[in-house]
Amino acid sequence: MNILLFDASHRISGMMTAYYQKVYALDFTDKLNGKGSLYQYINGQDPVQLITFDLLDDQDISMESWLNKNNIQFDTVINNLEHLIGNTLTETSIDEWRKSLFINLHLPFLIIKAFISYVPDDGQIIHISSTAAVSGEAGDVSYASHKSGLESFSKSLSKELSKRNIRSNVISISPKCWRKSDGARQIIQLLKETCNEHMSFLNGQVITLDNGETLS
Amino acid sequence: MRQTSVVLIIGGAAGIGQAVAESRLKNDDKVVFTDINAEKGHQLMTEWRDQGYEATFIQQDVTSWKDTEKVVSETIELYGRMDVLIISAGVTSQKRLEDITVKEWRFTLDVNLTGLFYILKAALPEMVKSKGGSIVIVGSGSAITGSGGGAHYAVSKGGAFGLMRAIANEYSDQGIHINLVAPRVIETEMLDILYPTEEAKEALRQKIPIKNFGTLADTTNAINFLASGESRYIQAQVLLMDGGRTYLT
Ligand SMILES: NC(=O)c1ccc[n+]([C@@H]2O[C@H](COP(=O)([O-])OP(=O)(O)OC[C@H]3O[C@@H](n4cnc5c(N)ncnc54)[C@H](O)[C@@H]3O)[C@@H](O)[C@H]2O)c1
Q: Which has the higher per-residue pLDDT, A9 or B157?
A: B157
Dihedral-angle region of residue A204 (phi above 0 means left; psi in -120 to 50 means alpha; beta otherwise): left
Ligand 1: distance of its center to the CA of B112 in Å? Answer: 9
Based on the structure, what is the number of domains in chain B?
1
Mean pLDDT of A33-54: 92
Put simply, whether the predicted model's pTM sits higher than 0.90 gets the answer yes
User: CB distance A156–B166 less than 8 Å?
Assistant: no
Output the domain CATH number for residue A155. Answer: 3.40.50.720
Q: Check if the beta carbon of residue B89 is closer than 8 Å to that of residue B35.
A: yes
User: CB distance A134–B163 less than 8 Å?
Assistant: no
Q: Is residue B246 part of a domain?
A: no
Q: Which domain, by its residues, includes A60?
A: 3-215
**How far from chain centre, in Å, is Cα A53?**
17
Residues of B forming the active site:
153
User: Is residue B1 very low, low, confident or very high in pLDDT (cuts 50, 70, 90)?
Assistant: low
In angstroms, what separates the C-alpha of B169 from chain A's closest C-alpha?
Answer: 5
User: CB distance B167–A141 less than 8 Å?
Assistant: yes
Q: Is residue B231 part of a domain?
A: yes
Contact list in B for residue A151 (CB cut-off 8 A) is 158
Q: Which contacts qualify for A55-59: CB closer than 8 Å, 24 or more apart?
A: A55/A107, A55/A110, A55/A111, A55/A114, A56/A110
Contact list in A for residue B125 (CB cut-off 8 A) is 90
In angstroms, what separates the C-alpha of B78 from chain A's closest C-alpha?
Answer: 24
In angstroms, what separates the C-alpha of B189 from chain A's closest C-alpha?
Answer: 23
Question: Residue A185 and residue A177: Cα distance in Å, rounded?
Answer: 10
How far CA A130 is from CA of A175, B38, B132, B162, in Å, comes to 7, 40, 29, 11
Q: Which of A158, A112, A150 is nearest to A131 (CA)?
A: A150
**Which amino acid type is present at position A76?**
T
Give the angle A7-A12-A17 at the CA atoms, nearest 5°: 110
Q: Is residue B65 part of a domain?
A: yes
pLDDT in tens, B85-104: 999 999 998 899 999 999 99
pLDDT at A196 over 90: no
User: Is residue A138 very low, low, confident or very high in pLDDT (cuts 50, 70, 90)?
Assistant: low
Three-state DSSP at A120 gives: coil
Based on the structure, what is the number of domains in chain A?
1
Q: Is residue B247 part of a domain?
A: no
Mean pLDDT of B185-207: 91
Q: Is residue B242 part of a domain?
A: no
| CA-based nearest residue in chain B for residue A132 | B162
Does any CB of chain A come closer than 8 Å to the CB of residue B142? yes
Q: Is residue B167 part of a domain?
A: yes
Would strands B176-183 and A124-130 be described as parallel, antiparallel, or unpaired?
Answer: unpaired
| CA-based nearest residue in chain A for residue B168 | A136
Bridge partners (DSSP) listed for residue B178: B135
pLDDT in tens, B145-189: 998 889 999 999 999 999 999 999 999 999 999 999 999 999 988
**pLDDT score, position B190:** 81
pLDDT in tens, B102-150: 999 999 999 999 999 999 999 999 999 999 999 999 999 999 999 888 9
Segment 7-26 of chain A within 8 Å of chain B by CB:
none
Q: Which of A127, A34, A121 is nearest to A73 (CA)?
A: A121
Question: Residue B99 and residue B150: Cα distance in Å, rounded?
Answer: 10
Contact list in B for residue A150 (CB cut-off 8 A) is 155, 158
Output the domain CATH number for residue B215. Answer: 3.40.50.720
Q: What is residue B36's DSSP assignment?
A: S
| Proportion of chain B above pLDDT 90, given as a percent | 92
| ipTM value for the complex | 0.94
Per-position b or e across A111-136, b if 16+ CB within 10 A of its CB: bbbbbbebbeeebbbbbbbbbbbbbb
Q: Which of B125, B110, B215, B129 is nearest to B167 (CA)?
A: B125
User: CB distance A145–B121 less than 8 Å?
Assistant: no
Q: Which domain, by its residues, includes B106?
A: 6-237
Q: How many CB atoms lie within 10 A of CB B213?
A: 19
- Residues with CB under 6 Å of ligand 1 are B 11, 13-17, 35-37, 60-63, 88-92, 111, 138, 140, 183-186, 188-191
Q: Is residue B157 part of a domain?
A: yes
